[in-house]
Chains A and B, each alone.
Chain A
């Protein structure tokens, strides 16, 4: 093991309403690959953003090579040799490889850019990494894997001492991952410090030397990779937290009919051969880590995004769903994870938003029946306890929880039988959260069926009758609520098939 390059000690960071980092420690050593692991929202990304100067820390110290540092700008971190290779690549597709690597600091010959030197320098960098990429190739014509290697080349051209990889393998093929590992090992042997963020357990075992685990914004511990098992890591990630009111048994009647059957649904990289059934009166939880393909599955099912193949059967009848219009006609409703972008016309009133799913019902010929429209809106505002001064209020002026109730009301007025709730309580205060849970329970009692996508373990264990776990576009496991534990869910959520 090499010497320590950088230590973070007692790092603390709060956002309004969230204590994102609670006195976290981290140590990065020369010639070593450190894995940083944790569930969604554990604070990994926040910690890395503090390290690279994107966020300002509230408390704690960062010591780099014996000297205390304070980065207020990502550029300062870069100058000190700390660079991050993002999951989503920040490349300009129409420029050449060399232009991308040296953007903003091109070698000059007088007034002009010295292209020859720039290409030669890029070539040298690739030589150092032992890879073959033509510096004059246009970036967008490279595969994602090659583009990532350019990003790495760019990182080492900054004379990097520490390179942070944020889920680098998410978009790569197996062969590309092999090559990435080779490069990472090469960098390690050149005495760089590497931080590797990934959810893939097998990769962690393969490439990393130590594992630091975070949970709920806290530092949990660090293990030597070679000395621990996958289960050790999962147990540390999960901890022994007691969750309030977990459901202990399914509330679905044993003879409840299947209302929705999805078979072999395929849509892009994120939805691969997804099949499942939903029973009447059931809350079917969809769990998984970020980017597991849950939202993509919902959108493909709802016709919001095109699908390649797959059969959907609703109440025993084949349903041809290619547009949201057909989905709504078939009785589906979709509450998006991002209500401001996909759920609400913000500059319009509560009434105008509420009847959007079924406006023809509130029309006489081409004309609106505004009396009826207002009546039904008022009725649902009261039933859902939506706090708004009037039904003419613009939804942009409502709080998050009340906006969410407007979206829910919209689907209830539309009388959808099968509701897809994608992160139904995201960004909502505790009181409104409770109300939405109660509402969901009432809805299934009334015979509606709910698919609930949630990244919150508490929510999944508390609301679901059955849980489907996805990982990288595939369903990797299914658990009845009786057998579901957080550890079991995490096991499936990190299972690469």
Chain B
């Protein structure tokens, strides 16, 4: 076992991540075996099921990537889901009612996400509010702003084949899951930012010991705020992938995705205490969350079961993280 853990490939990916990939395969097998039993012969092993699971993985993946940066600083963001919905609502409203060009609406979505990131980051980094409270407040603001803007109506983005529907190719082009390619691409960029740039270094060190970094002469406020801005920007991007898959967004919703994104992140090995983060882990975590919801629906359970399971996963992952840290220090 020790020998296996020390091979270069395993070291590069991380032993925990390999276990998680095993978990994905195991889950798939369980769903494949149980679905026909529970649903009278219905099959889980279908390409459509994979695509459907991936649809869910995209936006959870983008949210997870964003919140990874925030958790790396030792903070938390509970406004992710509602910010994503608000970005999709307002930009979609601009598209459908003001007839703005699609590219501009996508920019608007990214901008709205970023603005919420700035809001969270400012109050956390410059006003020293707890990120928990700040993001709870901005979650309420996000929900409210979206509702007010659309006069509490849902917004449906154009379906495939209609005018202004090329954004759907970002998610799926024919049978090619373009969304997966884009998710991996952005994840690679995030991994470079986190591990190979000054910003990522500062973000991780702030998460480990903010005061030591400040006393080393680093402008900790600026870099901490940057983590929240990245998180907001990625929530704005997640919005496009959400509507690209599901077209319709309703005002006042989105908070259930917070926990799923955070669960993806923590499962992947990012420490809630800050300082340790894994982009690859977050992506694998997002795939697990997505596969789980697909499996639960396929087996004929309601989505409520998924909430229960996500909650349990968060508890297990955070407990494991806390225990391993207590052992080390």
Binding site for B on A (CB under 8 A): 302, 304, 323-325, 327-329, 334, 336, 341-348, 352-353, 356-357, 359-360, 363, 366-368, 370, 396, 410, 414
Q: Quick one: which of B201-258 are within 8 Å of A by CB?
A: 201-202, 204-205, 208-209, 211-219
Is B275 in contact with chain A by the CB < 8 A criterion?
yes
Contact A346 B208 (CB under 8 A): yes
Contact B211 A341 (CB under 8 A): yes
Mask, B173-200, CB within 8 Å of A = 1, is 0000000000000000000000011110
Contact A345 B205 (CB under 8 A): yes
Contact of B212 among A302, A327, A329, A345 (CB under 8 A): A345
Is B276 in contact with chain A by the CB < 8 A criterion?
yes
Contact A345 B198 (CB under 8 A): no
Contact of B217 among A325, A344, A367 (CB under 8 A): A325
Contact A360 B212 (CB under 8 A): no
For the A-B complex with A341-B211, A344-B209, A346-B208 known, give 4 more contacts whose Cβ atoms are closer than 8 Å.
A304-B215, A324-B218, A325-B217, A328-B216
Contact A368 B201 (CB under 8 A): yes
Contact A360 B217 (CB under 8 A): no
Q: Give complex CA distance A341, B212 in Å.
A: 7
**Residues of B contacting A323 with CB < 8 Å?**
219
In the assembled complex, the CB of A245 is this many whole angstroms from the nearest CB of chain B, namely: 32
Contact A352 B198 (CB under 8 A): no
Q: Give complex CA distance A334, B215 in Å.
A: 8
Contact A324 B216 (CB under 8 A): yes
**Residues of B contacting A328 with CB < 8 Å?**
216-217
Known A325-B218, A348-B275: A342·B328 in contact at CB below 8 Å: no
**Residues of B contacting A345 with CB < 8 Å?**
205, 208-209, 212-213, 275
Known A324-B217, A347-B276: A352·B201 in contact at CB below 8 Å: yes
Contact A368 B215 (CB under 8 A): no
**Residues of B contacting A348 with CB < 8 Å?**
204-205, 208, 275
Q: Give complex CA distance A344, B198 in Å.
A: 17
In the assembled complex, the CB of A308 is this many whole angstroms from the nearest CB of chain B, namely: 20
Q: Give complex CA distance A334, B204 in Å.
A: 22
Contact of B205 among A302, A356, A368 (CB under 8 A): A356
Q: Give complex CA distance A363, B196 in Å.
A: 10
In the assembled complex, the CB of B218 is this many whole angstroms from the nearest CB of chain A, namely: 7
Contact of A342 among B196, B205, B215, B217 (CB under 8 A): B215
Q: Give complex CA distance A352, B204 in Å.
A: 10
Known A342-B211, A345-B209: A329·B217 in contact at CB below 8 Å: yes
**Residues of B contacting A366 with CB < 8 Å?**
197-199
Q: Give complex CA distance A389, B30 in Å.
A: 44
Contact A356 B216 (CB under 8 A): yes
**Nearest neighbor of A397 in chain B, beta-carbon distance:** B328
Is B329 in contact with chain A by the CB < 8 A criterion?
yes
Contact B217 A368 (CB under 8 A): no
Known A334-B215, A343-B215: A359·B328 in contact at CB below 8 Å: no
Q: Give complex CA distance A414, B218 in Å.
A: 12
Contact A414 B211 (CB under 8 A): no
Known A342-B212, A343-B212: A368·B197 in contact at CB below 8 Å: yes
**Residues of A contacting B216 with CB < 8 Å?**
324, 328, 356-357, 410, 414
